[in-house]
Structure 1
Amino acid sequence: MRTTTSMHHHPEQGGILIQSPTLAHIITAQQALQQQLETLKLHRFVHTILSAESGRYSIRFLLHEEIAGEWAPDCDTMQLCTHLQLDTQTSSTDLTREILLAMLLSPVAFEFPSHDELQAAVRIRHNIVTAGRSTAMAFDTAAAERPAEYWTYSEENGFTVLPGQPLIKALQKATQPDDSGKLYSFSCYRATEYVILLGIAQELMASNPALHQQLQQQWEQQAIMSGKFHDVFLREYGSMETPLPPKYYVPGDRLWFRNPDPHSSDIMGYEGSWVFYLGNGLFSNFWKRDQPYTLTSKCLELYHWRNATYHDLAGELQLDESVVEARVSESMQDPVEVERILTQMLRLREPTGVYVEGGCIDTTREYPRWVCPHTADLGLCIS
């Protein structure tokens, strides 16, 4: 049996950390964030730790421990909106509150070189949540299509944007049926990349136009995908050795739910499910965007994949979504059954290739890198 140390709230390690070689820079950052917290009426719940080490200064912002224990016991950030009566669906300010509170509760520090970079990160998370709520696609694990007036495809470069077509618009057209009037088919993994890319591009347009132009050129020449996309655009926090608490999420996080069933996970597209945390206990549902998942409904769906497999005429293993829906709906009527399934599924996932007693909860989450002029660390690879 694998043993792990789950990360819980260690005040001296987590929260929001701003670092700089100059003390004046740190004081400025402290004043700016303090002012923002006052505007959001959160300043009374936050304390700071200032430190200096070998020529570097840092300021750490954390929720007071007793407040953290009351609002998010065991780092469970999924109840923050309920506790504080936040309406993140209609209030942008409430969404900022939820994002900052979840970051302040983090058992792993969110590190930034400036207050500007922190603000950009919060805005990108806003963008991801907004786009995540609007994204929908046709369900097809094998097909790949994009709006032809914005995109072209080649084996060598993937889907690239046609010269002169703005990347932001191209991404919106591909992922948001309100914009295009059509559902396009592509994988949920690629869709998460597009939502992240859109969130970053929207921020760059405002705060770093030069880098935005580079991003535009990049996608006119060659798409960055899969492992490369992760390396260029994202940071990962948590690990298999020190997993994040199972109910710790920040709005805008990308995460993976693993299918812990060895049989159904052999079907392409059903190894697991990539989603965004949208805040308020909800996760993106790209197939039915008006029905975002709760942790319970997501766990039940993944659990019932094992009960919906069949062999098609060619002898290939397939999965019947209508059976999954029916089984989930049936389970929802029985609280004892829901509890039984959740007990199994809410365990942390096991390593790749291991299927013994793990659940569907990943040990890590992902979020975008820095984007501001002078501190951006996106490694674009334009030829």
Structure 2
Amino acid sequence: MACGILPRSIQQQRHETNSTMNVTHNQGGPATRGILVRGRETGDASGARHAVLTLLDALDLAPHVRVEAGADALGPFVRLWLSDDRVQAWAPAHDTLQLCQTLALDTLNQPGDLMREIVLTLLMGPVAFEFPSLDELVSAVRIRRNIVQAARKTTLAFHTRALDRPLDCWTYDEDRGFTIRPGVSLIAALTKATQPEVSGSLYSFSCYRATEYVILLGIAQELQQSNPALLQQLQTMWTARPIASGEFHEVFLREQGSMEEPLPPRYFVPGDRTWFRNPDEASADASGFEGSWVMYLGGGLFCNFWKLDQPYTLTRKCVEIYHWRHGLYRDDNGDERIDEVRIEPLIEASLNDPAERQRILAVMERYREPRGVYTEAGGCIDTTREFARWVRPGTADLVLPAQ
């Protein structure tokens, strides 16, 4: 299924063993991988490692987690990362898509396993995930968990032009868009708009907007626990006007990686938002088929907002987008469209033909080209990942704009 929105035109272009033997101290700048936590409580490396892993319910990982304490111009820090031998054994080349299978994690039925996958993939980070406090790290992990759990339940009605929301929670204004009704909980409104098991209905809007709602819901659920004052500000904001598109990205999200220094193509952390680009110029002109915005659910799966019980593997997502070019036609108004019924058997045939599947993946699993650039060498894999900003009182960098 397509997404129904032109992703890059509504945003600014993006940039584009014995554990005690593993402790080192560094007075220079921190190396850039794993998890980096700042604050006065990080001065003792061994103690900080114990504190971090205890808070994350991952103390058993201590023999595999390297730690370094130091200070730089911003103050003291501790950095934790998974040992190279464990990364190679569990996620060679930073391919985290098979991590759950390798470690026999059941993240769908065991919430603790989902948290474990998040912590492990953060510790494997090829670029450091930085936090101004231990509390912010804990909140970040919980937000990712919330996002995954919400994305798993999110289903939309597919319609490239229709837009609707639960009328008891939302109201529409042509200038402002959809806002929540006074007195309605933001968490409840987002849940009813995205989760048919709660509302009993399917609502139509783009997958891009759905990713915003899922991320906002995950953040709001954490704010309810750790920063109620900021949650109230969000509530007030969405009663007056929504934050969407490029502004949403700037206000709520951090971005890691760039066109110049891309993240490893198979490196994903549960709760990441990413974009799969359609590298075929002709079919990318069809409304809704420029690419596909998704959330990474963990376990090698990406959300499918159109078919709740059929999340995407990376392989299926790549093969589906590749075949969009074979469904291109013009409707009675002369507009480009994609006939998804026509291409469904082509997708299945390619998935069931090992040689053809590998041929397609060799094309599609390349990094995408910059916006507006189409070449035969361009694939669909984004160079960056997006995830939530800091949210704790005193350290939050999620700053709401004026209404």
TM-score bin, normalised by smaller chain: over 0.9
| Aligned position for 1:323 | 342
Partners of 1:261 and 1:126 in 2: how far apart? 34
Q: Structure 2 matches for 1:204-215, cutoff 5 A? A: 204-215=223-234
| Aligned position for 2:61 | 42
Q: How many percent of aligned residue pairs carry the same amino acid?
A: 57
Partners of 2:344 and 2:31 in 1: how far apart? 45
Q: Secondary structure at the match of 1:366?
A: strand
| Aligned position for 1:8 | none
Question: 2:289 aligned with 1:270, yes or no?
Answer: yes
Residues 38 and 283 (structure 1), Cα distance of their counterparts in 2 relative to 1, 3 Å cut: closer
Superposition deviation, residue 382 in structure 1: 3.8
TM-score by length of 1: 0.94
Amino acid at match of 1:132: A
Partners of 1:180 and 1:55 in 2: how far apart? 47
User: CA contact under 8 A between 1:21 and 1:55: conserved in structure 2?
Assistant: no
User: CA contact under 8 A between 2:369 and 2:378: conserved in structure 1?
Assistant: yes
User: CA contact under 8 A between 1:217 and 1:382: conserved in structure 2?
Assistant: no
Amino acid at match of 1:143: A
Question: 2:72 aligned with 1:83, yes or no?
Answer: no
Superposition deviation, residue 362 in structure 1: 0.3
State which drifts further: 19-28 or 312-321: 19-28
Amino acid at match of 2:391: V
Paired positions, count? 373
Question: 2:270 aligned with 1:227, yes or no?
Answer: no
Residues 373 and 316 (structure 1), Cα distance of their counterparts in 2 relative to 1, 3 Å cut: same
Superposition deviation, residue 37 in structure 1: 5.8
Question: 2:342 aligned with 1:336, yes or no?
Answer: no
Superposition deviation, residue 274 in structure 1: 0.1
| Aligned position for 1:260 | 279
Residues 225 and 213 (structure 1), Cα distance of their counterparts in 2 relative to 1, 3 Å cut: same
| Aligned position for 2:382 | 362
Superposition deviation, residue 59 in structure 1: 0.3
| Aligned position for 1:4 | none
Q: Structure 2 matches for 1:135-214, cutoff 5 A? A: 135-214=154-233
Counterpart among 390, 393, 399 of residue 373 in structure 1: 393
State which drifts further: 149-158 or 206-215: 149-158
Partners of 1:206 and 1:29 in 2: how far apart? 24
Cα deviation, 1:173-213, whole Å, max 9, x if unaligned, reads: 10001011111000000000000000000000111111010
Amino acid at match of 1:365: R
Partners of 2:89 and 2:155 in 1: how far apart? 36
Partners of 1:165 and 1:211 in 2: how far apart? 16
Superposition deviation, residue 156 in structure 1: 2.2
Cα deviation, 1:273-295, whole Å, max 9, x if unaligned, reads: 00001001000000001000000
Superposition deviation, residue 79 in structure 1: 1.1
Cα deviation, 1:49-84, whole Å, max 9, x if unaligned, reads: 111224611100000111111111111111110111
| Aligned position for 1:217 | 236
Q: Secondary structure at the match of 2:281?
A: coil
CA RMSD of aligned residues (A): 1.6
| Aligned position for 2:23 | none
Superposition deviation, residue 34 in structure 1: 3.2
Residues 229 and 28 (structure 1), Cα distance of their counterparts in 2 relative to 1, 3 Å cut: farther
Superposition deviation, residue 39 in structure 1: 4.5
| Aligned position for 1:304 | 323
Q: Secondary structure at the match of 1:331?
A: helix
Cα deviation, 1:202-240, whole Å, max 9, x if unaligned, reads: 000111111010010010011000000000000000000
Superposition deviation, residue 314 in structure 1: 1.5
Superposition deviation, residue 321 in structure 1: 1.4
Q: Secondary structure at the match of 2:235?
A: helix
Question: 2:190 aligned with 1:134, yes or no?
Answer: no
Superposition deviation, residue 19 in structure 1: 1.3
User: CA contact under 8 A between 1:371 and 1:377: conserved in structure 2?
Assistant: yes
Unpaired stretches in structure 2, ≥5 consecutive residues: 1-29
Partners of 1:172 and 1:228 in 2: how far apart? 22
